[in-house]
Amino acid sequence: MRNTARWAATLGLTAATVCGSLTGSALAAPAAAPTSLYAPSALVLTVGHGETAATANAARAVTLSCAPTPSGTHPAAALACAELRAAGGDPELLAGPGHAVCTRQYDPVVVTVDGVWQGRRVAFAHTFANECVKNAAESSLFAF
């Protein structure tokens, strides 16, 4: 009888180890269904002084979420989302030179855009010659 009890305990421990306990991953809840029909579009934008994103210290940062509705701390979220949609989510197309007259002073400003746009990873950095040139870009995306 003593051997039977030991054998039963060993079998029980082995089964628990192989199959997992009742609170283990075998009985984990199924993955949650998506809460939105839209692919995620959430970005973090930063601006800082320096020549590259690696050497610049971020002076300001904002968030921008475009699906299902524009939101975040970006001051013109709706307009920035519309511009990104028109550019196919490519911030490079929005960093073009504007029509403002700026000095030729070299005081580089770096803007970064990191996150996800319609399910695709976005990692963008652009260096403008100075703050005036950044503000002259024909996009509200960089106006924060």
For residues 21-50, give the mean pLDDT. Answer: 68
Three-state DSSP class for 135?
helix
* pLDDT tens digit sequence for 101-142: 898 999 999 999 999 999 899 999 999 999 999 988 888 999
Query: Residue ranges of the domains in the chain?
Result: 42-142
**For residues 101 and 58, what is the distance between their CA atoms, to the nearest angstrom?**
26
Q: What is the mean pLDDT of the chain?
A: 80
Pick the CATH number of 42-142 from 3.40.630.10, 3.30.350.10, 3.30.70.260, 3.40.50.300: 3.30.350.10
Q: Which two tokens stand for residue 85?
A: 């949609």
Please report the sign of the dihedral spanned by the C-alpha atoms of residue 141, residue 142, residue 143, residue 144.
Answer: positive
Q: Are 94 and 137 in contact (CB under 8 A)?
A: yes
